Structures are given as C-alpha cells and as structure tokens.
Amino acid sequence: MIYKIQVEFSKEFLEIQENQINIGIKSKPVKGKANKEIIKKLAKHFGVSTALVHIKSGHRSRQKIIEIIE
C-alpha cells in the first residue's frame, strides 16, 4: 500500500485518512533519525516489520511517499 505522509515536528500523533497520513514525531531531522522514527511508528501501527516500510520519495522533505508491504 502506498501512502502520502505529512510530517510535523515536536508533536506526537498519527492520523490516517484514506491514503494520507499525518504524523508527528519528536526526533529532529538529523542523520536520518526522523525517517527512522517515522518507519518505526508506521510499522508498529500497521503491525508489520520495519523492513516492510519503505520511503519511496521525500527522504529530506516533510512530504513523503511511503510504501507498506503487508
């Protein structure tokens, strides 16, 4: 499944509306820490391994395209 992600910093939340996910994270976007936190949160929410969550585009952006293999 492919999702569009909108990231906000300094907040903790996860909202899903169809194929759009709004997510809040605490990590700062330094050395990939924010992307790792996003992958962990999404994997936990969907009940899959972190290896099944891939950032397709937007590695350095607040808007990302993520694929979750179920």
Find all residues with CB under 8 Å of 47, minimum gap 6, and list them.
Answer: none
The number of distinct structural domains making up the chain is 1
CATH number at residue 31: 3.30.1200.10
**Does the structure show a pLDDT above 90 at 63?**
yes
Give the residue numbers spanning the domain of 63. 2-68
17-43 confidence digits (pLDDT tens)? 999 999 999 999 999 999 999 999 999
Please give the Cα distance from 45 to 59 (Å, whole number). 20
**Does the structure show a pLDDT above 90 at 46?**
yes
- 24 three-class SS: strand
